Amino acid sequence: MRIDGRKNNQIRPVKIIRDYTKYAEGSVFIEVGDTKVLCNASIEDKVPPFLKGKGEGWITCEYNMLPRSTEVRKVRDISRLKIDGRTMEIQRLIGRALRSVVDLKLIGEKTIWVDCDVIQADGGTRTTAINGAFIAIVDAINKIHKERPFKVYPIRNFLTAVSVGIFEGEKILDLCYKEDCKANVDMNVVMTEDGEFVEIQGTGEENPFSRKDLDELLHLAEKGSKQMINIQKDILKMDCLWIGTGK
């Protein structure tokens, strides 16, 4: 049994609230264990300069950890007049992940901004943000689809992200902070429902890890991805029926 009583192949309890804020086209508050993230998706009828006139859209993300989302107050980026490297890396990851399952040519010249704000961090903030952001994107795109249906629905697949790692010699799924900070291997895996990998970020914190370890961790990530997809489908209900249909 783990620190919080879970089995090695079990994700933390997940709670998702849709339409959490009033104005965003898609808004999701997601809790995974004690990690809590607010994800808002906003649609603008314009694209970045490099896409003007090409007839396709864009999805981009801003990620932020609020000052007391951690045990010690985190200084706001605006106070330092720059975005720290970790924040930049995570928001680029979220943007890449979301774009991988959306056909940008089908949404037209629109930009979908996704703002992920970490209210409380206890490990897995980037994976939690991706899982919440995907649902926010679905809600935002569905608002367009219900008002003026797409000829072809643009979301091609479900998207999930989970963490896996090796902690005290055990391969475990969905690490909380106490596990993550002492893990020998830490890995984040972004996947689709079809079992295809969008991104794999893996690090041997103290020692290298073997190909056998990697295969076992990816197999564990696949199990976690299936658990998360079932949760996404349950919370979206009828609003996910268009995903992957191409209709």
Tell me what pLDDT residue 75 has: 81
Cα dihedral across residues 187, 211, 158, 8: positive or negative: negative
**pLDDT (tens digit, 0 to 9) for every residue of the chain, 247 residues total?**
798 999 999 999 999 999 999 999 999 999 999 999 999 999 999 999 999 999 999 999 999 999 889 888 888 777 676 777 888 999 999 999 999 999 999 999 999 999 999 999 999 999 999 999 999 999 999 999 999 999 999 999 999 999 999 999 999 999 999 999 999 999 999 999 999 999 999 999 878 999 999 999 999 999 999 999 999 999 999 999 999 887 6
Tell me what pLDDT residue 77 has: 78
60 is in an annotated binding site: no
Cα dihedral across residues 29, 113, 56, 200: positive or negative: negative
Tell me what pLDDT residue 46 has: 95
Single out the residue of 231, 239, 245, 247 nearest to residue 16, CA to CA: 231
Pairing of strands 26-32, 35-44: antiparallel
Pick 14-240's CATH classification: 3.30.1490.270, 3.90.226.10, 3.30.230.70, 3.40.50.150: 3.30.230.70
d(CA 247, CA 240): 12
Paired residues of 159 in beta bridges: 192
Q: How many CB atoms neighbour CB 41 within 10 A?
A: 28
111 is in an annotated binding site: no
Cα dihedral across residues 200, 229, 119, 40: positive or negative: positive
148 is in an annotated binding site: no
DSSP H/E element including 40: strand 35-44
Tell me what pLDDT residue 79 has: 67
68 is in an annotated binding site: no
Tell me what pLDDT residue 228 has: 97
Q: Helices (DSSP H) in 81-175: which residue ranges?
A: 85-99, 125-147
Paired residues of 187 in beta bridges: 164, 202
Pairing of strands 58-65, 197-204: unpaired
Could you give the count of Cα atoms lying within 13 Å of 7 in the half-sphere of its Cβ?
Answer: 5
